[in-house]
Amino acid sequence: MLFPNHPAYAEIRAGMGDLGYQPGAHALLGYTAPAHDLGDFSASMENAALDSNAGVTVNDIELLNSLGATDQDLTNLINGNITLTALYAQYGVTIPGGGGVVPTTATSTPVTPASASITPAPPSQPQGQLPTGSQFSYTGGWSPIHGSVGDVQAALSSKLPGSGMQLVAFNSTGSSLLGVGTAGFTATVAVTGVGFALLSDAQSIVVTIVQSVIGTGNLTTNQISLVSTPSTPAAVAAANAAAGNPIVWLESNAIYIAAAVAGLVFLNNFTGKRR
């Protein structure tokens, strides 16, 4: 020895850990041994961690190694048994947002806890009289001095789509003699929108459009009937459409039918006297 009186604890010897000082020197230097021994990752585990989907970077490997993490920690990280953030926390390290080491959120399918409140689906509403895909027949009549049938047809064609309906067929049913009589029509309308709860709901829309042409309060005939719904067989729908129109036409033209009958009676009486 060069200094025989030198304290034994200050002597540096080969192979001694903790900077070559004996345990007694820690207090003098103000140094405390780490809680964990330094880790010693194997090269194979480091490569496996870097190649995994755990989001491990070279900086993570170095920092975890300095914290004392082991190959088993890397194995748990690779297998998804622990997240990178949780592994750091296990060694007393909190990674701030935007720091040099970016924690990775493990990718997994979220599971709804059994205790979570689930909003029940709203109860189904009963089907209305005119669901989507239905058809109905509407007949209107008025004095010809208040508007033309052609103008009403044009108004229905352009305005019905705005209310979820479409004009499918249109027939003029009115007639007049010397300005006396009725103007009228029968229309087949398809429901293309969300539908209507009541026939009267669709009827009020059609009436509003017709009155925009002929004026409010001038309708003398205002009738609606259901032709078909999506569940109605085609044969029944055709029969419904054919059943309503002749009756309405007779009602709209009753005055002319009566005049024709009276004329026939008069003609018969006149010719009968000559015989």
- Supply the mean pLDDT for the chain: 73
138 to 75, 151, 218, 221: CA distances (angstroms): 77, 16, 16, 10
Q: Is 50 helix (H, G, I), strand (E, B) or coil?
A: helix
- Dist CA 75 CA 54 (whole Å): 11
Asked whether residue 4 is assigned to any structural domain, the reply reads no
123 has a pLDDT exceeding 50: yes
Please tell me the number of Cα atoms within 13 Å of 57 on its side-chain side. 7
- Dist CA 10 CA 109 (whole Å): 59
Asked whether residue 52 is assigned to any structural domain, the reply reads no
Residues composing the chain = 275
- Dist CA 61 CA 58 (whole Å): 5
DSSP 8-class letter at 117: -
Contacts (Cβ under 8 Å, ≥6 apart) of 101:
57, 59, 60, 63, 84, 88, 95
Asked whether residue 96 is assigned to any structural domain, the reply reads no
Asked whether residue 234 is assigned to any structural domain, the reply reads yes
Asked whether residue 183 is assigned to any structural domain, the reply reads yes
What average pLDDT does this structure show over 147-170?
95
What average pLDDT does this structure show over 213-232?
92
- The pLDDT value given to residue 232: 75
- Dist CA 25 CA 16 (whole Å): 13
Cα 117–Cα 106–Cα 97 angle in degrees, nearest 5: 95
Asked whether residue 147 is assigned to any structural domain, the reply reads yes
Q: Who wins on pLDDT, 227 or 54?
A: 227
Domain count, the chain: 1
123-132, 146-155, 244-253 — which is least confidently predicted?
A: 244-253
Asked whether residue 58 is assigned to any structural domain, the reply reads no
Domain at 208, CATH number: 3.30.70.260
Cα dihedral 80→85→91→96 (10° resolution):
170
Name the amino acid, one letter, at 87: L
131 has a pLDDT exceeding 90: yes
Asked whether residue 122 is assigned to any structural domain, the reply reads no
Range of the domain at 230: 135-262
113 has a pLDDT exceeding 90: no
Q: Is this prediction's pTM over 0.75?
A: no
* pLDDT one-digit tens code per residue, 37-77: 456 788 888 888 888 887 889 888 888 888 888 999 888 88
Alpha carbon 145 to chain centroid, angstroms: 50
Percent of the chain with pLDDT over 90: 31
Looking only at the bridges linking them, the beta strands covering 135-142 and 180-191 are antiparallel
Q: Answer left, alpha or beta for residue 260, where phi above 0 means left and psi between -120 and 50 means alpha.
A: alpha
